[in-house]
Structure 1
């Protein structure tokens, strides 16, 4: 009984090995059949690519430089616009600040002058 089981296992192993060998042989034959057309395609493909026109999405070097210059000019103008706008706001703010400051001292002086006129002490 034990010997029969061992023989069956051995037979199964041999069948699996034979199946694997058959699959490998078939795969090698298929590769040998496909290899010449693939090699031929690899030889012809560079020639086909050379004969084809360049794709339209690829820009020339001059077009790329022009685009880059336009973007730089746009950035340049935007930067200076922002710069002048900032300084305009800055001067407007200081003008408003000094105007307020001047009015404050003017009213303070006028108030102290009145207090002094009525013989009161004035501190500022």
Structure 2
């Protein structure tokens, strides 16, 4: 049976309260940290991370997740209007730019936009 205890205990870290992050598939960060992100199977031996656009105050957790999981791809499903409305540029640097941490930095390679239909684009 699927549970949602971490999601319910961290409501302030979820952008949308009506989208549930299930405990059994969620990405676990070190310590007590939480991020609304789940592992999804792409193929039998390939996984990806599906997540909400992080809040400005959880942007650090997002990038920590990228480091901790050595993620090659992360899927964010949102419209272009949502990307602008929620100030995503405050969380994501320009392509080929760096995100700096106390103990190092990472370079962001590229963002890809995939148009699902005229109203939806996958970044």
TM-score, structure 1 normalization: 0.12
Bigger radius of gyration among the two: 1
Question: Which structure has more RCO (C-alpha within 8 Å, separation ≥ 6)?
Answer: 2
Structure with a larger share of its residues in helix: 1
Quick check: which one's strand share is greater? 2
